[in-house]
Amino acid sequence: MVESMSLWPLLGIGVIVIGFILRFNPVLVVVGAGIVTGIAAQMPLLTIFEKMGAGFLNTRNLPFILLLPLAVIGLLERHGLKERAQMWITKIERATTGRLLIIYLLIRELTAALGLTSLGGHPQMVRPLLAPMAEGSAEKIYGPLPPAVRYRIQAMAAATDNVGLFFGEDIFVAFGAVLFMHNFMVESAGVQTEPLHIALWGIPTACFAFVIHSFRLSRLDHHLRREITKAAKGYREGAL
């Protein structure tokens, strides 16, 4: 017989949402959410603080791990990484913004499916390489880009990385979310399954995500042409 599960600990999620909406200090919001979750789970207050302290000690080197790659990327950008990426992509005749992002989407999904989730990412791949290359391919065709078009390309590059990672990593059997779903289904819902089966059923979802987002990217070139034409027309009318 399946035991009933208390949902009161989920109040911590509400604390995080409200705290971020009200723009409180993120550290205070997270600590408050942890305390609320622990109290709702009927944990002693001393135990809650012990868990928080243990988590802090286990992740005390995390800021260094995050800041070191940012420093390396910043140094590479200072020495022309962005400009080199734009120059390289302009030498490929048939390269367009949509085609470039489709290729990256495929690579991102395949590598994430193999567990290589750190090969991409916004700070180490999208900002210094992917977005400049996507902008360079558009500039090769249309010339200087209006700010709105440039922001659209940057947003689509970031979205492509998100889609490829999110749906690709669900295929990796050792991914934390797959194991979490397995434990939840077996222990809470009483459904007998295997992590491998969950990962395999992630393949159709990843394929549909690739097809749908690739269609959006294929339409991106048409949207860029229309937006740039509209911006150029407005500029000429304003000049007159």
Per residue in 126-164, pLDDT tens? 888 888 888 888 888 888 888 888 899 999 999 999 999
Tell me how far CA of residue 6 lies from CA of 12, 13, 34, 66, 224, in angstroms. Answer: 13, 14, 16, 35, 50
pLDDT of 236 strictly over 60: no
* Cα–Cα dist 94/167, whole Å: 28
User: Quick check: 56 pLDDT over 70?
Assistant: no
pLDDT-based confidence at residue 101 (cuts at 50, 70, 90): very high
Q: What distance in Å separates the CA atoms of residue 105 and residue 110, rounded to the nearest whole number?
A: 9
Residue 114 one-letter amino acid: L
Residue 84 has pLDDT above 70, yes or no: no
Tell me the pLDDT band of 102, cut-offs 50, 70 and 90: very high
6 dihedral zone (left: phi>0; alpha: psi -120 to 50; beta): beta
Q: Is 47 helix (H, G, I), strand (E, B) or coil?
A: helix
Q: Name the band, by pLDDT with cuts 50, 70 and 90, for residue 67.
A: low
Q: Are the beta carbons of 109 and 164 closer than 8 angstroms?
A: yes
Poorest-pLDDT segment among 113-122, 147-156, 201-210 = 113-122
Tell me the C-alpha distance between 203 and 168, whole Å: 8
Cα separation, 1 vs 72, in Å, equals 55
The Cα-based distances of 14 to 35, 162, 180 in angstroms read: 13, 24, 21
Interatomic CA distance for residues 240 and 114, integer angstroms: 57
pLDDT value at 77 more than 70: no
Domain limits, the chain:
1-60, 82-239
